[in-house]
Structure 1
Amino acid sequence: MRSFLAGLLLAGLLLPIVTAPAGAQTPPPDSARVSDYAEDALDDLERSAGDAEQLAGRLTALAEHPLDVNAASAGELARVPAFSPFAARNVVRERVRRNGYDRLADLRAAEGVTAAVLAQARPYLTAGPTGSANGRFPETPSLGDITDGMEFDVMQRYTRRLDLGDGYEARPVPQPDGDTARVAPFLGRPGRLYTRLRARYERRVSLALTFDKDPGERFTWDPDTGTYGYDHVSGHVAIHDFGRLETLVAGDFTAEFGQGTLLWSSMTFGKGRNPVRSIARSSGGLDPYGSTEENRFFRGLGATVRLTSRLDASAFFSRRTLDATRARPDTSLPGFGPDASARVTTLAESGLHRTAGELAKKDALGETLGGGALAFSGDSFRIGAAGYHARFDAPLRPDTARLFRRFDFRGDRATAASVYAQVFAGSDYHFFGEAARTPGGAVGGVGGATATFSRFAEATVLARHYPRDFHSLHGYSFGERSGAPQNETGFYAGLRLEPARRWTLKGYFDLYRFPWVRFAVGRPSSGYEARLIAEHAPRDWLNWYVQLRSETRESGADLLDAAGRPLDGLIEETRQSARLHVDYRFSERLRLRSRIEGARYVERGPQFSDNDFGAQRGADYGVILYQDVRFKPFDGLRLDARLAFFDTDSYGARVYAYENDLLYSFAVPAYSGTGRRFYLLARWAPTDRITLEAKYGATRFRGVETIGSGYGEIDGPRRREVRAQVRFQF
């Protein structure tokens, strides 16, 4: 099987090269709505953190409303893909020196903006009139300008799996009256419904409502459970850059300051194919929220005011409910009377309310939070401080009998604060960091530096330390551990070189340790990861790269001592992969992408030998090859298709691959087992105001009778899904 796949893939990789037309035309650089950089970043989401759908939506919105390089601040530019804080600062400095940019190509004059960087950032930028950044504060638009320039956007999405899991199968359930009824565990229908209503004026005024019902959730009106048709409703009203008022948002919003150690909500690129420029973060402060992730946002009021041209202050207040598991204390114990209040044992983060058990956790805990931040900017530095105080309407009391919960946050109040800074030393060095003190007194943080050795070489290093009792309830800083930073120490180093024209070498090494036990890992553990990428673009229409990746980490294992008693042990897991990816653009209307990736998974530990603690189990292997085709038969219609073949010995040898999906959405499935996958995505814009999309995907496995497990178990070897979306703009 693997030899057949390898031969087929090799033919697919070589075909675009050997059949390259001599007169292939270079597509216009501004034709892409979302750059390949974003797709490359989403391709690594199996290890990325935060709300990826929010990031995908943010990038798409940025492509539709590009930043004006003659008016944007360094902070705004630093949030553009491929732009580091160092490059963004130099763009602003060069803009002042030359009194504006006449065209985007002029950005090459700024230190740190190479041809490759500009190509990746171009879809998100525009060059407005020079001199548009003059003045200490932005001008306030008139009401007439806002109403005349307001754009409206209505989006409706429906998705559904055609092969349903066990959760939709009815089964006998005893009723209170003694009878038995056939009831399915999932209370709702299998389709997912998503509706978004939005109005905006340029990048300065935004009004939005977002409605979402996940598969299996009920579509009903039930105020007792906080369900009003859709299970999740989000909305906001926000304004930006009105004189001294930088941001004012009412409703749902995110707060992101410093490096995310204390406050961060959305996903960041993190470790990936851009190992230098994506590490230092550029905080966005207060931003309106409109995604479907149901936990990582605030609900209330927030504002950022420019006190002077260098000093800005933020304040925010939030009152919202969280999903949680509440348990009544044992009233027979001393100190617990019959009126003792419930305690919260765990916070639920899935956002799913399909079963009676999941529905019982919905909105079970209230949180009231107030906070703020103060930041001062100079010509070559920015320093700031942030903090918040939160109060819960029931105490959090995790089950400390489970060792990995022993140092989790306990109590009904939390106060935390941080200080952060970034400093530019000359034109070659950028230092950044943040330190935070969390409830209980634990201090942790991150610190790093980026150095530019020439126009074509740069490196970054970052160290982080989050103690085991570090309780950053709303943080999401750099780290190997997914979720809020806790129980991790590590060091990261990344390098990016352009040794020759059209060649790029990139790589990183990350060493980390978890000083306390984790879920399913009964001892302190450690690991390391390395990645090396060589990328070459011999022509404007041809790009290929090779990627080598290896990660070794310790995981939990059940062992027996000499007397046969169980022990919490460790095994060493190593995952290695090699990838060859070719991207070829025949023309503006036809694009091919081919990939082959092989994976190897090995476990080492004492259970594999009676006397050798370094013995290993036989290695598992996996391989995937796919061919993507993007075809635009005529203006307004785009077709994306993929045919993928995969063969893996185990889930440990799984391979991830990003898929094109509906606008403002994403998919990064894991390929495991043996089989093939096909999807077809059609996007048709019959007019400038209407966009219709539909996607059909099917995965067929070989040699299996069921797919998945639990309520998601499907009878048969096939899994199919349909997705459709309509968007109106006026």
Structure 2
Amino acid sequence: MKRGLLAGCALFAAFHVSAQEDDRGVPRDLIEQRIEAAAENLGDDSDVDLTTLFDVLTDRYTDPIDLNHTSAEELNTLGLLTDVQIGALFDHIHRDGPLLSIYELQTINAWDARTIELVRPFVTVREREQGARAGFKEILRNLTQEVTIRSQVNVEERRGFQDRTNLFGREYADPDGDPLADAGDPAVRDSLRANNKVYLGSPYKLYLRYRARYRNNLSFGFTAEKDEGEEFFRGSQPNGFDFYSAHLFIRDLGRVKAIALGDYQAQFGLGLTYWSGLAFSSKSSYSLNIKRNASGLLPYTSVNENLFNRGAGITVEPVRHVEVTAFWSRNTLDANSVAVSDTAGAETPEITFSSFQEDGFHRTNNELAKKDALVAQTFGGHIAYRRTHFQIGVTGAHVGFDATLNKDVKPYNQFEFQGDGNTTLGADFTYLYRNASFFGEVARSDNGGIGLNVGTLIALDRRVSLALLYRDYQRDFHGLYSVGFAEGSNPWNERGLYTGLEIRASRAWVFNCYFDQFTFPWLRYQVDAPTSGYEALGQLNWSPSKKVSLYVRMRHEDKGYNTELPEQGIDAIVRRVQNNYRFNASYKVSDAIGLRTRVEVVDFKRGDAPLDHGFLIYQDLVHRPLHSIWEITLRAALFNTTSYDARVYAYENDLIGVFSIPPYYGRGMRWYAMLRLTPLRRVDLWLRYGAWIYNGQDRISSGLQEISGPMKSDVKVQVRVRF
């Protein structure tokens, strides 16, 4: 992807990789803008799992890419460069010879000072290429290993833990004053658990990870996680954690370019035919961010229980410029409403399910009944022919389930996938001509549905760049593993044209804007007619010095939705209009102290309903004393929204490897404090406390997540040891 939308999510954390290394020169405010831009379209996932992205940038921070001996595919893993910039780099080296210094990048027309500053921590210039192969002793001597342990717990007790007292001596009390069952009675407690009235496990969220790595050639390790409310070494979880993951990944063994065993990701083309792993909406204030650059096979180190392959994959280069990838996966998935029915004349009964369950929670008997209810087997491959300025690829993938997806068919979803298997075939290309990059992908599912992406990125001159992308996804396109550029949550039933512009007036002034116009030819969820809409954004950045950075942003969105007013028959379609206005400022008081201020206002209107408003203001203080074993981050925020529709998202500093972008809604205050200690050279400790205080509320959340009272807070602790 362009200019670091995905990579930006990992970049900020990657700069923390080694406490003994000086990382205070990194433009963290710019990185945080990229993180937030990526996550603002994720919905209500306040704790986003971006571990894989974090690992990619961490690896490159400790093992920089040699610009004199690299490829477009390797540079694309950074997510910070456009195809035009990469092509200009290779043209410069071909014409003038290898780079002598990193500062020589300033002489390349497509490389502006802002890009050079951002990419510099992850690249280097060497006269000779490092050997890809290494002996066993070399690997052992330079193997980097890391163990991370993390725990999180809520201070206030939730309804789901009413049968116990928490770590802080607190018990749940019903906000209405209703008496609770006597959970001290074993029979009552067993009844509560059997009837899904309480969680089966403890309130602690636990995480454990071990990873070993040698440069970019070898990676192996395992990850384990237990969510809040899940059992641990008892009951439904006799083996401890609810989720385990392990991987072995090897790169560059002669013509064998990659070997993946265990858990891995496979990403090809523009993501329209096959892409396993987390991906984001591509619209953000980084308006050139329209192309998703695939990484092929990657090790999987995250804890999302659905977005990965489990099996084996291999990439080989049988002849020069040609790469062939084959992969196979067998994974278990959670599913809803699994049913077994006898079919007349059939030797075996038919097993059906109504939908996929993707939250990964297994805290009650109901949730446990959905766990691993479905087996998915996937196999496929990709063939790519690559030259410096041209690339073409063909991808094919088949996924089969041991049960049949049988949805409750409604008018809006009648063309969506149903059945026990799907095959998708596609072709992609990238062509670089002078200062322009052209790219596209077309995919076809086995029912005949077609999906298409085609776009261009043009450097009009060194200061102005233009991005265009057209997409056309038929209503019956079944891309079960597709993450193509789309306004909707999935790439089907949509046509649109995106236009983005970036103007780098000077090193201090940068203006980004985009206009995206789209139509939905068929019905959608909560939309009982074909509709159209558009979205526009403009952002002006001013960075007069390395100490000061400000930007102002306006975003406008207009789409058709069903009315919320009482109607008989088919709901009327009304316009849903939202405006966001933001001012953001960052200031370095000194080398050790930084301040960040934000004010954001939201207006939301749906048809003739009253106008809703949202407001957020926060102040951050970041204190990182030079040559000190500690640093601290503080935030105080005030927010006021008249409805959930007018919520405001904001990135929060969190533990390394954790990315939090919660929605601020209601009326109240938010604050948190995070302390990082490095008592020993290879040992880091993080402590974080955060609280939400709501005005005029006697409860927070609902169901088993309900908290009695106006306050919700949590404590997080993490230890990392490197050796």
What TM-score do you get using the length of structure 2 for normalisation?
Answer: 0.89
Identical-pair percentage = 32
Q: Distance in 2 between matches of 1:588 and 1:103?
A: 27
SS of the residue corresponding to residue 307 of structure 1 reads strand
Q: Deviations over 1:275-324 (max 9, x none)?
A: 10x21122100101010111011001101112233111101111111111
Q: 1:513 Cα deviation (Å)?
A: 2.2
Deviates more, 1:231-240 or 1:631-640: 631-640
| Rounded Cα–Cα distance in structure 2 between residues aligned with 1:145 and 1:504 | 46
Structure 1 residue 398 displacement after superposition:
1.6
- Which region of structure 1 is more displaced relative to structure 2, 690-699 or 109-118? 109-118
Which residue does 2:394 correspond to in 1?
Answer: 385
- Check whether the contact 1:172–1:181 (CA below 8 A) recurs between aligned residues: no
Partner of residue 195 from structure 1, selected from 184, 190, 208? 208
Instruction: Give the distance between the partners of 1:35 and 1:241, measured in 2 at CA.
Output: 33
- The letter of the residue matching 2:671 is F
| Change beyond 3 A, Cα 1:311–1:335 | same
Separation in 2, partners of 1:98, 1:227:
63
Residue type of the alignment partner of 2:366: G
**Residue among 511, 514, 518 paired with 1:508:** 514
* Corresponding residue SS for 1:358: helix
Aligned to 1:455: 462
How much has 1:354 moved relative to structure 2? 1.5
Structure 1 residues 111 and 375: alpha-carbon distance in aligned structure 2, compared to 1, 3 A threshold:
farther
Shift of 1:360: 0.8
CA pair 221-476 structure 1, distance change in 2 beyond 3 A:
farther
| Counterpart residue number, 2:570 | 567
Which of 313, 324, 340 pairs up with 2:324?
Answer: 313
Q: Aligned match of 1:591 in 589, 594, 601?
A: 594
Larger deviation, residues 510-519 vs 236-245:
510-519
Q: Does residue 445 of structure 2 align to residue 438 of structure 1?
A: yes
User: Which residue does the alignment assign to 1:272?
Assistant: 284
Structure 1 residue 172, shift from structure 2 partner? 5.7
SS in 2 for 1:383: strand
Amino acid at match of 1:551: E
Whether the 8 Å contact between 2:219 and 2:248 is mirrored in structure 1 is yes
CA distance in 2, matches of 1:700, 1:182: 30
Are the aligned partners of 1:599 and 1:655 in contact in 2 as well (CA < 8 Å)? yes
Aligned partners of 1:173 and 1:181 also within 8 Å: no
Matches of 2:704 and 2:111, distance apart in 1: 50
Is 1:700 aligned to 2:707, yes or no? no
Residues in 2 aligned to 1:81 and 1:593: alpha-carbon distance in whole angstroms:
25
Residues 173, 263 of structure 1: alpha-carbon distance in 2 compared, 3 angstrom cutoff: farther
Residue 426 of structure 2 contacts residue 443 of structure 2 at CA under 8 Å; is this kept in 1?
yes
Q: Aligned runs of 1:478-517 on 2, under 5 Å?
A: 478-482=485-489, 484-517=490-523
Equivalents in 1 of 2:672, 2:237: separation in Å?
37
Distance in structure 1 (CA, Å) of the matches to 2:439 and 2:481? 20
Letter in 2 for 1:217: E
CA shift, 1:493, in A, is 0.8
User: Partner letter of residue 356 of structure 1?
Assistant: N
Contact 2:231 2:237 in 1 (8 A): no
Give the equivalent residue in structure 1 for 2:246. 235
Q: What is the rounded CA distance, in whole Å, between the counterparts of 2:492 and 2:345 in structure 1? A: 32
Query: 1:60 & 1:700 partners in 2: Cα distance?
Result: 35
1:559 Cα offset (Å): 5.3
- Cross-structure match for 1:617: 609
Question: What's 1:398 paired with?
Answer: 407
Secondary structure of 1:454's aligned partner: coil
Matched residue SS, 1:522: coil
Change beyond 3 A, Cα 1:257–1:180: closer
The structural deviation recorded for 1:575 is 1.1
Task: Map Cα deviations across residues 382-405 of structure 1 (whole Å, 9 max, x no partner).
Answer: 0000111222111222221x3333
Shift of 1:221: 5.5
Q: Kindly state the Cα deviation for residue 330 of structure 1 after the two structures are TM-superposed.
A: 5.6
Distance 1:359 1:502, change over 3 A: same
Question: In 2 relative to 1, CA 33–253 (structure 1 residues): closer, same or farther, beyond 3 Å?
Answer: farther
Structure 1 length normalisation: TM-score? 0.88
Question: Aligned to 2:580, what secondary structure does the other structure show?
Answer: strand
Secondary structure (helix, strand or coil) at the match of 1:476 reads coil
Instruction: State the 1:185 CA deviation.
Output: 2.9
Relative distance call for 1:650 and 1:336 in structure 2 (3 A) is: farther
Q: CA–CA distance in 2 between the matches of 1:567 and 1:405? A: 16
Instruction: Give the aligned residue type for 2:535.
Output: E
| 8 Å Cα contact 1:29-1:122 kept in structure 2 | no
Match of 2:353 in 1: 344
Q: Letter of the aligned partner of 2:610 in structure 1? A: G
After superposition, the CA RMSD in angstroms is: 2.6
Aligned residues: 676
Q: Give the whole-Å Cα distance in 2 for the aligned partners of 1:150 and 1:356.
A: 43
Following TM superposition, by how much is the alpha carbon of 1:329 offset from its aligned partner in structure 2, in angstroms?
5.4
Query: Aligned residue for 1:425?
Result: 433
Residues 341-365 of structure 1, C-alpha deviations (whole Å, 9 max, x = no match):
2212111111111121111111111
Higher mean C-alpha deviation, range 161-170 or range 342-351:
161-170
Rounded to whole Å, the distance in 2 between the matches of 1:542 and 1:664 is 27
TM superposition shift of 1:648? 1.4
Q: Contact 2:436–2:458 at 8 Å: present in 1 too?
A: yes
Does 2:664 correspond to 1:671? yes
Among 145, 148, 151, which residue is 1:152 paired with? 145
Question: Which segment is superposed worse, 491-500 or 551-560?
Answer: 551-560
State how far apart, in whole Å, the 1-side matches of 2:524 and 2:24 are.
47
Shift of 1:406: 1.7
> Which among 191, 214, 238 is matched to residue 181 of structure 1?
191
Q: Deviations over 1:400-441 (max 9, x none)?
A: 1x3333222222222111100000112x11001100011311
Output the CA distance in 2 between the equivalents of 1:260 and 1:551: 25
Structure 1 residue 168 and structure 2 residue 168: aligned?
no
Which consecutive unaligned segments of at least 5 residues does structure 1 have?
1-27, 605-615
Letter in 1 for 2:271: G
